[in-house]
Amino acid sequence: MTGPLDGVLVVDLTRALAGPHAGMMLGDLGARVIKVENPGSGDDTRGWGPPFVQPDSGDRESTYFLSTNRNKESVTLDLKDSGDKELLRELLRRADVLLENFRPGTLARLGFGTEVLEQLNPRLVTLAISGFGHDGPEGGRAGYDQIAQGEAGLMSLTGSGPDDPQRVGVPIGDLLAGMYGAYGVLAALLERERTGRGQVIRTSLLAAVVGVHAFQGTAWTVAGQVGRAQGNHHPSIAPYGLFHCKGGSVQLSCGSESLWRKLCAEFDLDPEAPGMATNGERVGNRGQVVELLEGTFADIPPEELLARLAAAGIPAGKVRSIDEVYTWDQTLSQGLLIDVEHATLGRLQLPGPPLRFFAPGPDGETETTRRDHAAPPVLGSSNEAIRAWLAGDQRP
C-alpha cells in the first residue's frame, strides 16, 4: 500500500501553495518527495498565521504549512552557496521529477536552467508553475492567488451580483495550478516510459483558472455572452441554488424537466404555469421561480424540507460549516481525515487525500489506498539523512 508512484523521487523547490500542493499530491501517490527549503526560515507558509499550533513555543507550526506538506521530507539548502548547489545537483541527478515555482528566469539565474538540467539528468521531468505564464507580454509578473482570481475572471463570476466581486473562500487558483501540474507530471512520466527522456511542463495560476471556466468560457467564446456573478443561483439552470426556508436554507437542483415536475408534484405547484414550463423560461424568470419556491418553503424547517426533497428524488443538501464536514460520517467513510504523528506536535488529524484505489479480483474489490501517511516535516528534519545518502553512506 505504498502507492502507484512508489520508487519515484521528487525534488520540490517550491514554496507557498501551488507547487507544494502538486508535491503533496505526488507524495500521496507514493512518491518520495524531498522538499528543499531556505535555511532558517523555510517555506513562506511556515510563517503564515494565525492559527499556529503551539504558538508560544519554539516548536510553533503554521496550520497553513501543515495543510499542504504531508508525505514529504525537508532538507535545507542555500542555493547561493556553492556547496549546497552541488548537493542539489546530486539530488537532481538521481531525481525523476523537479518542481519549481520561482518567477520565470530565477532558476536559470541560480545556475539550473533548462539546458543545465538536461545535461544533469536527461530523464528529469520538470514542472514549472508561474503566476501568469513563463512568456508573453506579462509573463514575468509575480502571482498571488487572489490577484490571479481577479485577473482570470473568476471573481467577476463569484459574489451576490455583478457589483459584488468575491474571491473563492480557498486559494483555488493555487490549488488548481498544483492539480494541473501534478496531472502534467504524471503524463510526462508515462511518456518517458516510451521515449526515455524527460521534459518540462509549464502551467500558471492564470492558465489553471481559465482552464476551469467551463460553460462560462464557451458562453463568451461561442455565444458572445459575458457571465456575471449571480449569487447562489445557476446562470443556466433553474431552479438550481440556495433557497431559504423556516429557520434556515437548503440547496436543490432540478437539472432536468422530470426533476422539475417531481418538485412541483411534491409541493402542489403547477409545472406548466406561465414562465415556468421550460428550463429556458425559468432561467429568464429566475426571480419569480425563487420567490415561488421560497414562499412554498417558508413554513418548512430545513430537516423536514430535505427529507421531503429526498423522498421525491430531488437532489438537495445543506450548507455545512467546516467543523460539520469533518465530523460527518460520510466524510469519515471516504478516508478524508487521516491521523499522523508529527515530530514535535505529536498526534495530529489532517485532511486526507481525495483519491482511493481498488484492485479488482475474483472475490470482489480490494482497497489498495495508501494508509501510512507522514506528517508535514519539521524544517531541515532530514538534513543529516539526505546528506549521508548523497554521500553514499546509507540507503535512502
Residues annotated as catalytic are: 174
Q: C-alpha distances in angstroms, 382 versus 140, 159, 197, 302, 379?
A: 33, 44, 29, 51, 8
What dihedral do alpha carbons 4, 7, 8, 9 form, nearest 10°?
140
Select from 245, 380, 395 the least CA-distant residue to 316. Answer: 245
Select from 128, 180, 177, 129 the least CA-distant residue to 149. Answer: 177
DSSP lists the bridge partners of residue 349 as 339
The label of the residue with cell 419556491 reads 293
Could you tell me if 315 and 259 are in contact, meaning their C-beta atoms sit under 8 angstroms apart? yes
Exposure b/e, 147-171, CB count within 10 A at least 16 = b: bbbebbbbbbbbbeeeeebebbeeb
Query: Distance between CA atoms of 198 and 39, rounded to whole angstroms?
Result: 30
